[in-house]
Amino acid sequence: MKHYFTIQISHAEHGQGMTEYLIIVALIAITGIAVFSFFGQTLRHQMAGISQELSGKKADSDITAAQGTAGQATINAGLQKNMSDYKSDMGK
């Protein structure tokens, strides 16, 4: 009876599971890169401040820099942009 309910998984299904796992890991990595590039300097300064605090040092300058870049990001978000704002110097 026990043998009747066992399911045989082929080698192709094992490979399919690994492929799905790799796709998920790649999507998580791409998302992480996108977040760091989107939030840019603000996130970098915050991470530097966290690193300084974890090492036992004061991180006042990193916190101030993060606040400054966050303010600049707010200003940039309010600006009107269109395709003419993006210029390429390739081939020059």
Number of structural domains (the chain) is 1
User: Cβ contacts of residue 35 below 8 Å, gap of 6+?
Assistant: 43
What is the extent of the structural domain holding 65? 39-69
Q: Is residue 18 part of a domain?
A: no
60 found inside a domain? yes
The answer to whether residue 51 is domain-embedded is yes
Per-residue pLDDT of the chain (92 residues; tens, 9 = 90+): 555 555 665 555 666 788 899 999 999 999 888 877 777 777 788 888 888 888 888 888 888 888 887 777 777 767 777 767 666 665 55
